[in-house]
Amino acid sequence: MNPITNPFAPGAGTRPPELAGRDELRETVRVATERVRRGFSSQSVLMIGLRGVGKTVLLDAMRDSAEGAGIHTIRLESPEDRSLPALLAPELRVALLRLSSDQRAKEFAFRALRGLAGFAKALKVKYGDIEVGFDFDPEPGLADNGDLEHDLQALFETIGVAAQKAETALVLFIDELQYVCETELASLIIALHRVAQRNLPVMVVGAGLPQLRGRMGKAKSYAERLFDFPEIGPLAEQAARFAITKPAVDQGVLIDEKALIRILQETHGYPYFLQEWGKQAWDTATSSPITLTDVEAASKVAVATLDQSFFRVRFDRLTPAERKYLRAMAELGPGPHRSGDIASALNRNVTGLAPTRSQLIAKGMIWSPSHGDTAFTVPLFDEFMRRIMPGVSWLDQ
Ligand SMILES: Nc1ncnc2c1ncn2[C@@H]1O[C@H](COP(=O)(O)OP(=O)(O)O)[C@@H](O)[C@H]1O
Ligand SMILES: [Mg+2]
């Protein structure tokens, strides 16, 4: 088929041609943001799921809807190496400048900007990476203690008041939240708790890997109550079918039932894989309908492409010891696996492997579904590990 009109879109954060199967969750978040805007209580939302299930594109879609409804938003992605205050400060500044164009909110947004100036100045020493333009001088005593926990709370309150005056809300869309360190997470939770207590219209819609839930609870035990943690998984069968057929049919291309079933089997309904298989099946087929034979040929290309992209970028970031650990896990199957079993596969003891396991969790490669259990955060990663480190020689490396 003509590659120019190929609708499928594999890629991290790449908007899919059809955002299938997520309407209910989008509606839940829409209701939550509207409630917050009106001063009703509502939980912040943290979407939890493995790599490639569609968290980032959902965040973007939710943000677009919120903006369309007149809600103010900011969008952050936490990298592994920058502090939360450094990410937040410039985005909050832009949001406040926008809010200040509303006459009802103007004075309050200016006050929040003074708070932001104090916040950044006071925390500059601790977080050397804070860089933000100052529109006003700080107001002494406002968010300028130099203590993140206290200052973020004060800052969120002033922002909340400004948003309330403009009859809007400020929603913070934060991706990859599992990379935020525990003390910064705790400060964020405390600040959100404070604005929630005062019914101020500030909330977070976030996304992260499965370890995020535990990290939140560890940072502040009441986080479990303050947040809703919807789990984002592979698409259910009908939605997975639709994710493939709808974009194809929109371009006048049909797909045989057997071909479709094969795609569903190969991808297990994981959104990233659906996009990859859709794309390769389209490029392989020479005419409509796409057949089982087309999909069989496309599968090889899809696997090879994923090995070079989706899986590879993660593998490249690993040390030899980390690779070996993951390879041992892969030997045991998709998982989750007991730490003891992984250690046995490596002829080591659990304690000696603990640092490697912790690094892998910090890098977002694995997580612990329950005490002593270890699972991959990337779907089908066990199969990839067996392809990239075949045979048994990895054990001696
Ligand atoms: N609901 C969906 N239906 C179809 N494709 C989707 C859906 N959600 C995500 N995708 C596709 O899956 C891939 C991964 O999405 P992304 O948001 O980056 O996942 P995550 O952030 O969870 O790793 C992208 O190519 C995207 O187009
Ligand atoms: Mg993502």
Report pLDDT digits (tens) over 95-120: 999 999 999 999 999 999 999 999 99
Report pLDDT digits (tens) over 278-336: 999 999 999 999 999 999 999 999 999 999 999 999 999 999 999 999 999 999 999 99
What's the average pLDDT block by block, 10 residues per block, for the chain (397 residues)? Answer: 96 97 98 97 96 98 98 94 93 97 97 96 88 91 95 98 98 97 96 96 97 94 93 98 98 98 97 98 98 98 96 95 97 96 95 96 94 95 96 88
Report the alpha-carbon distance of residue 177 to residue 163 in Å, rounded.
24
| pLDDT given at position 128 | 87
How far, in Å, are 46, 124, 346, 354 from residue 82 at the CA level? Answer: 20, 13, 34, 25
Report the alpha-carbon distance of residue 361 to residue 375 in Å, rounded.
10
Closest ligand relative to 178 C-alpha? 2
Query: How many other C-beta atoms can be found within 10 angstroms of the C-beta atom of residue 182?
Result: 12
Closest ligand relative to 49 C-alpha? 1
| pLDDT given at position 56 | 98
What lines the ligand 1 site, CB under 6 Å?
9-16, 18-22, 49, 51-57, 243, 271-272, 274-275
| pLDDT given at position 126 | 87
Tell me the pTM. 0.95
| Termini Cα distance of the chain | 45
- Which residue's CA is minimally distant from atom 13 of ligand 1? 272
| pLDDT given at position 55 | 98
Distance 186 CA to ligand 1 centre (A): 29
Q: What is the atom index within ligand 1 of the atom nearest the CA of 60?
A: 17
Report the alpha-carbon distance of residue 294 to residue 285 in Å, rounded.
5
Closest ligand relative to 13 C-alpha? 1
| pLDDT given at position 81 | 83
Distance 271 CA to ligand 2 centre (A): 12
Distance 104 CA to ligand 1 centre (A): 39
- Which residue's CA is minimally distant from atom 9 of ligand 1? 54
- Which residue's CA is minimally distant from atom 15 of ligand 1? 54
Q: What is the atom index within ligand 1 of the atom nearest the CA of 22?
A: 1
Residues ≥6 apart with Cβ < 8 Å to 170: 71, 72, 73, 74, 95, 99, 159, 160, 163, 201, 202
Closest ligand relative to 236 C-alpha? 1
Residues ≥6 apart with Cβ < 8 Å to 45: 28, 29, 32, 203, 204, 205, 206, 227, 228, 229, 230
| pLDDT given at position 80 | 81
Distance 55 CA to ligand 1 centre (A): 7
- Which residue's CA is minimally distant from atom 8 of ligand 1? 54
